C-alpha cells in the first residue's frame, strides 16, 4: 500500500464534511525514514560495521602483546585454508547430510500435519515447537544419554546391523556412536528439524486440496500426484527449509563439541578457539570470512538451481 501521495487537502470552508485534514505531504514523506532510523542504525552499527572491522582484522598482522596492524597480508586467508580445510569440508559435509536428513524426516511430518491431522493439527504443531522450550544445550546433552555406549539405542542399531553399515561408511566406530560423525550429524539433524518442518508445513498448507482430487480424477496414482503436484508446489518450503537448516548447521560447533571428538571438529570450533583461546584474531577473522563466503556461494548456487530467486 502506497500512502506517500496523500491527496491535497480540500479547500477550507466549503461546508461539506470532507475527509479529515491530513498532515502536510513533506512531513508524511519523512515518516517511513523516522520509523526506520533507530532499527536500521542499530543494524548498521552492530551488524554491518562489525563486518567491516572483521574484514580489516583479517588483513592485519601482529600479536596481542605488540598490537595488530593492517598490513594487507592476504596470506592469512591462504594459511587458514591450508591449515583448516579438513574442518571446512567436514562442516559442509555434516551440514549437508543433516539438511538432507531433516528434509527426509521432516517432510512426512509436515505432510501429516498439513493434510492428515484433522483436529489433531494444532496439537501436533505445538509438539513440533515444544522442544524449543527446553534450552537446546540441555537437549543436546540429553543425546549423550540416548546414544551412550551400550545403551538401548546403540543396542537396537547394533542388532539391526545398522552399525555395521555406518562403520563401513566411516560414520561410526566399532559399537560406539558417541564421539563419532554419526552422533554429530544426529545432533545437528535434531537441532534444526523444526526449522525445516515449519516452512514445509506453511507451503504444504497453502496447497488447494482440490488439486489432489483433480489429479486423482485424471487417474494419477498417489505417488504420481505427489511427484507431479504436491512436491513441486511445496518447493518454496523445501528451499527455505533447506536454507534455514543448512546455514546455521554449517557454522554450528555445539554439536561437534558436545557429541563429537577431536576428529569431528567443525569450522565453528576452530573460529571459536582462535578467537577466544588462541587469540589469533587475523586467522579467526579470515576463517569466519571464508565460512561466510562459502555459505553465501552454496546458497546462491542452490537458489539459482531451484529457481526461486524471489524467495529471499
Partner 1 sequence: MRLLRSLRRHLVVIAGLLTLAYMILPNLVVMVFSFNDPKGRFNYAWQTFSLDAWKDPCGVPGLCASLSVSLWTAGLATVGATVLGTMIAFALVRYRFRARGAVNSLVFLPMAMPEVVMAASLLTLFLNMGAELGFRTVLIAHIMFCIGFVVTAVKARVMSMDPRLEEAARDLYAGPVQTFLRVTLPIAAPGIAAGALLAFALSFDDFIITNFNAGSTVTFPMFVWGSAQRGTPVQINVIGTAMFVLAVAVVVLGRTVSGRRKARAEK
Q: Rule CB under 8 A: which of 256-295 touch partner 1?
A: 258, 268, 271-272, 275-276, 281, 284-285, 288-289, 291-292, 295
* Distance in angstroms (rounded) separating the CA atoms of residues 41 and 45: 6
Q: Which of residues 28-87 bind partner 1 (CB under 8 A)?
A: 29, 31-33, 35-36, 38-40, 42-44, 46-51, 53-54, 57
- Nearer Cβ to partner 1 (147/163): 147
* Distance in angstroms (rounded) separating the CA atoms of residues 181 and 109: 25
- Nearer Cβ to partner 1 (163/204): 204
Residue with cell 480424477: 217
Residue from 134, 214, 224, 301 binding partner 1 (CB under 8 A):
134
- Nearer Cβ to partner 1 (53/74): 53
Greatest Cα-to-Cα distance within the chain, rounded to the nearest angstrom = 91
Q: What is the DSSP string of 208-257?
A: -HHHHHHHHHTT--HHHHIIIIIHHHTHHHHHHHHHHHHHHHHH--HHHH
Residue from 92, 98, 103, 113 binding partner 1 (CB under 8 A):
113
Q: Which of residues 156-195 bind partner 1 (CB under 8 A)?
A: 190, 193-194
Return the closest-CA partner of residue 277 out of 64, 77, 122, 57.
Answer: 64
Residue from 59, 103, 243, 256 binding partner 1 (CB under 8 A):
243
CB of 29 to partner 1, least distance (A): 8
Task: Choose the binding region for partner 1 from 15-23, 73-81, 161-169, 204-212 (rule: CB under 8 A).
Answer: 15-23
21-53 burial by CB neighbour count: b if 16+ within 10 A, else e? eeeeeeeeeeeeeeeeeeeeeeeeeeeeeeeee
CB of 218 to partner 1, least distance (A): 21
CB of 210 to partner 1, least distance (A): 20
CB of 10 to partner 1, least distance (A): 13
Residue from 6, 23, 74, 297 binding partner 1 (CB under 8 A):
23
- Nearer Cβ to partner 1 (100/105): 105
Spatial neighbors of 101 by CB under 8 A, at least 6 apart, are: 185, 189
Q: Which of residues 87-106 bind partner 1 (CB under 8 A)?
A: 105-106
**Please, what is the end-to-end C-alpha distance for the chain in angstroms?**
20
Residue 160 has φ and ψ, to the nearest 5°, of -85, 5
Spatial neighbors of 148 by CB under 8 A, at least 6 apart, are: 154, 178
Amino acid at each position: 500500500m502506497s500512502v506517500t501521495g496523500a491527496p491535497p487537502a480540500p479547500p477550507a470552508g466549503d461546508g461539506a464534511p470532507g475527509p479529515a485534514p491530513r498532515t502536510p505531504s513533506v512531513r508524511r514523506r519523512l515518516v517511513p525514514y523516522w520509523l526506520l532510523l533507530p532499527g536500521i542504525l542499530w543494524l548498521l552499527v552492530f551488524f554491518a560495521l562489525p563486518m567491516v572491522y572483521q574484514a580489516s582484522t583479517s588483513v592485519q598482522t601482529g600479536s596481542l602483546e605488540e598490537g595488530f596492524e593492517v598490513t594487507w597480508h592476504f596470506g592469512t586467508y591462504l594459511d587458514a585454508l591450508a591449515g583448516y580445510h579438513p574442518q571446512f569440508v567436514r562442516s559442509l559435509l555434516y551440514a549437508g547430510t543433516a539438511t538432507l536428513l531433516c528434509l527426509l524426516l521432516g517432510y512426512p511430518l509436515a505432510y501429516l500435519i498439513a493434510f492428515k491431522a484433522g483436529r489433531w493439527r494444532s496439537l501436533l504443531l505445538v509438539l513440533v515447537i515444544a522442544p524449543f522450550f527446553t534450552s537446546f544445550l540441555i537437549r543436546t546433552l540429553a543425546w549423550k544419554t540416548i546414544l551412550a555406549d551400550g545403551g538401548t539405542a546403540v543396542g537396537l542399531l547394533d542388532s539391526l546391523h545398522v552399525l555395521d553399515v555406518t562403520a563401513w561408511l566411516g560414520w561410526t566406530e566399532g559399537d560406539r556412536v558417541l564421539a563419532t560423525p554419526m552422533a554429530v550429524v544426529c545432533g545437528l539433524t535434531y537441532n534444526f528439524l523444526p526449522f525445516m518442518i515449519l516452512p514445509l508445513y506453511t507451503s504444504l498448507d497453502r496447497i488447494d486440496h482440490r488439486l489432489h482430487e483433480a489429479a486423482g480424477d485424471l487417474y494419477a496414482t498417489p505417488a504420481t500426484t505427489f511427484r507431479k503436484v504436491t512436491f513441486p508446489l511445496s518447493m518454496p518450503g523445501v528451499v527455505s527449509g533447506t536454507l534455514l537448516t543448512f546455514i546455521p548447521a554449517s557454522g554450528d560447533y555445539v554439536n561437534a563439541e558436545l557429541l563429537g571428538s577431536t576428529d569431528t571438529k567443525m569450522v565453528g570450533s576452530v573460529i571459536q578457539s582462535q578467537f577466544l583461546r588462541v587469540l589469533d584474531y587475523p586467522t579467526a577473522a579470515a576463517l569466519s570470512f571464508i565460512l561466510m563466503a562459502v555459505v553465501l556461494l552454496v546458497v546462491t548456487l542452490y537458489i539459482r538451481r531451484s529457481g526461486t530467486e524471489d524467495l529471499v
